[in-house]
Amino acid sequence: MSPLDTSPLTALVAGQRTGQALDRALYMDPAMFERDMQRLFLRHWLCVGHASQLPNPGDYITTEYGGESVIIARGKDGAVRAMLNVCRHRGAELCAGHAGTAAFFACPYHGWTYGLDGSLESARHMPADFDRAAHALKSVTCRVIQGVIFISFAEVPLEFGHVEATLNGSLGRYGWANARVAHRETYPIAANWKLAVENYVECYHCSPSHPEYSKLHALEQPAPRIAKLNAAMEARTRALGIEVATLTHWTSANGEEAIDCFRYALYDGISTGSPDGSPVAPLMGDFTGYDGGVTSIHLGPASFLVAYADHGVIYRFMPRTHDTCEMELLWLVRADAEAGRDFDLEALTWLWRITSEADKRIIEHTARGVRSRFYVPGPLAPMEANEQRYLEWYLGEVAG
Ligand code: FES
Ligand SMILES: [Fe+2]
């Protein structure tokens, strides 16, 4: 903290202790939520979906972070662009609803119309000298990497080259550029967004809360057991002739985006995340067989990607208000895979649906407890090392 910065928020952040859960005010204070928005969501890269959600020109989706609504649209030229969902006349929201197809975006208020690239095409009864070119929708930086769409609200986005290389070397092996969204599910959560993300990044709760996940994934075994299972998985991956990139770069200290791309094993004999561990969809990308592994990617404040050999899951968290957020899951399969013929949608989505429903319950339980005036942050367990790392990074981002 700078000696001149005496704001109560800065003092609150500086007063957090390493190895402990956060104070109640970090979840409850609307001013803290505004700082979270400024330092995290308006500064970092955010995954907003998959390009297969916009197969044709005119297709669009919308997404919202703390009141900032964004339209992501495929233009006539085939390019995917992002723009603020805010009319340049008097600010009305242009698109309601999550997704649609449009030839142009018409403002419901006074009827200004915008092209798919955000340019202002018509503005009724405006003076002859009105400068349309100066009133395009505000654009938001947008990148598509291996089919995954990212946006950054920042004027100067954080350095992303190492992320792009890692996603190309990891998701590229899984064929995510040639995948499609088979199912989407959203979960409104009555909790501050941090309680939801903190829950995602630790697996201390996995065995009590997620028996289904814990039967398949070996993430919470003692370290020597994990090392042995991971070594066996890596040998199977090599035997398939595949090398999946990994990178742990969990810092934004030098203006770089934080990413952790790591791999871990399923239990012996488990092929994928399905009800009984058996294959659930056609193999993807370079995978000609099952290596019994998972590639897991944590990116910036609230984007998570999970890749199995035969399907993938995009996990996104969107803050709404200081004590509400939303979780969105997108299940990916090979682009040519058809439900009913190549996969069973129930079986495909079973594991992460049941896991997310349980997570929503636990996160909301936690939010109710943390709202108590008698709540005191407790010590983190060694198995919550990943959460500790996330919290240290978060506190660095919102400090001073
Ligand atoms: S607010 Fe959009 S046209 Fe007036
Ligand atoms: Fe969980």
pLDDT digits (tens, 9 = 90+) for 326-347: 999 999 999 999 999 999 999 9
Give the residue from 260, 39, 321, 274 showing the smallest Cα distance to 158: 39
Burial 306-329 (b: 16+ CB within 10 A, else e): bbbbbbbbbbbbbbbebbebbbbb
What pLDDT shows up at residue 218?
A: 85
The structure tokens 């919102």 sit at: 398
Q: Which of 141, 152, 144, 120 lies closest to 45 in space, CA to CA? A: 152
Give the neighbor-by-neighbor strand order of the sheet with 105-106: 105-106, 113-114, 120-122
pLDDT band at residue 1 using 50, 70 and 90 as cut-offs: very low
Q: Structure tokens of 182?
A: 């088979």
Domain boundary among 106, 136, 157: 157
Residues 2 and 56 placed together within one structural domain of the fold: no
- Domain identity same for 227 and 185: yes
Classify residue 264 by burial, with Cβ atoms within 10 Å: 0-12, 13-18, 19+: middle
Average pLDDT across the chain, whole number: 96
Quick one: tokens of 212? 């289904």
Q: Convert the pLDDT of each residue in 380-399 to its tens digit.
A: 999 999 999 999 999 999 99
Q: Is 391 in contact with 22 (CB distance < 8 Å)?
A: yes
Looking at the CA of 94, name the nearest ligand.
Answer: 1
90 lines ligand 1 (CB under 6 A): yes
The pair phi, psi for residue 90, each rounded to 5°, is -125, 25
Q: Helix 385-398 vs helix 193-201: angle between axes, to the nearest 10 degrees?
A: 140
| Confidence label for 285 from pLDDT (cuts 50, 70 and 90) | very high
Q: Give pLDDT, residue 5.
A: 65
- Closest C-alpha residue for ligand 1 atom 3: 110
Distance of CA 246 from the midpoint of ligand 2 (Å): 23
Portion of the chain with pLDDT greater than 70, in percent: 98
Number of domains in the chain: 2
Query: Sheet holding 59-65: strands in order across?
Result: 46-50, 148-152, 139-145, 80-84, 68-74, 59-65, 99-101
Q: Which atom of ligand 1 is nearest to the CA of 107?
A: 2
Coil, helix or strand at residue 375: coil
Higher-scoring residue by pLDDT: 10, 1: 10
| Residue pLDDT, tens place only, 43-55 | 999 999 999 999 9
Please write the tens of the pLDDT for every residue from 177-212. 999 999 999 999 999 999 999 999 999 999 999 999
One domain for residues 59 and 19? no
Identify the weakest region by mean pLDDT among 2-16, 240-254, 291-305.
Answer: 2-16
User: What pLDDT shows up at residue 3?
Assistant: 52
Domain-ending residue, one of 141, 157, 173: 157
Q: Are residues 298 and 318 in the same domain?
A: yes
Per-residue pLDDT, averaged over 215-236, amounts to: 88
Assign 3-state DSSP to the chain and report helix, strand, coil percentages, each to 5. 30, 25, 40
Residue 389: which domain range?
Answer: 1-42+160-400
pLDDT at 388: 97
- Burial class of residue 298, CB neighbours in 10 A (0-12, 13-18, 19+): buried
Alpha-carbon distance of 43 to 301, in angstroms, equals 10
Structure-token pair, residue 126:
């405006």
Same domain, 92 and 32: no
* Backbone phi, psi, residue 159, to 5°: -55, 130
Centre of ligand 2 to C-alpha 384, Å, is 12
Same domain as 165, residue 152: no
pLDDT confidence bin for 4, thresholds 50/70/90: low
pLDDT digits (tens, 9 = 90+) for 242-277: 999 999 999 999 999 999 999 999 999 999 999 999
Tell whether the model's pLDDT for residue 2 goes beyond 80.
no
Q: What is the CATH number of the domain that holds 149?
A: 2.102.10.10
| Residue 213 and residue 297 share a domain | yes
Residue 94: band (very low, low, confident or very high) from pLDDT cuts 50, 70, 90: very high
Which residue of 94, 107, 135, 137 sits with most ligand 1 atoms within 8 Å of its CB, as the best mutation to test the pocket? 107
Ligand 2 centroid–CA 357 distance in Å is: 9
Residue 87 CA: which ligand 1 atom is closest? 2
Give mean pLDDT, residues 345-362. Answer: 98
- Number of separate helices (H) and strands (E) present in the chain: 10, 17
Token pair for residue 81?
């662009």
Statement to judge: residues 239 and 311 lie in one domain: yes
Identify which of 186, 179, 185 has the alpha carbon closest to the alpha carbon of residue 52: 179
> Final residue of a domain: which of 157, 185, 203?
157
Q: Which two tokens stand for residue 318?
A: 């969107």
Q: Pocket of ligand 1, candidates 71, 110, 124, 138: which has the most ligand atoms within 8 Å of its Cβ, to mutate?
A: 110
Q: Which atom of ligand 1 is nearest to the CA of 88?
A: 2
**Cα 118 to averaged position of ligand 1 atoms, centre (Å):** 14
Question: What is residue 52's DSSP assignment?
Answer: G
- Give yes or no for residue 112 CB within 6 A of ligand 1: yes
Tell me, using a 6 A CB cutoff, whether residue 171 lines ligand 1: no
Is the CB of residue 308 below 6 angstroms from any atom belonging to ligand 1? no
* Two tokens, residue 188: 């409104």
Task: Give the 3-state secondary structure of residue 372.
Answer: coil
For the segment 105-113, the average pLDDT, to the nearest whole number, is 98
One domain, residues 258 and 323: yes
Check which CATH number belongs to the domain holding 204 and give it.
Answer: 3.90.380.10
Confidence of residue 122 (pLDDT cuts 50, 70, 90): very high
Residues 164 and 271 in one domain: yes
pLDDT one-digit tens code per residue, 361-373:
999 999 999 999 9
Are 140 and 165 found together in one domain?
Answer: no
Question: Residue 73 phi/psi, 5° resolution?
Answer: -130, 150
Same domain, 222 and 333: yes
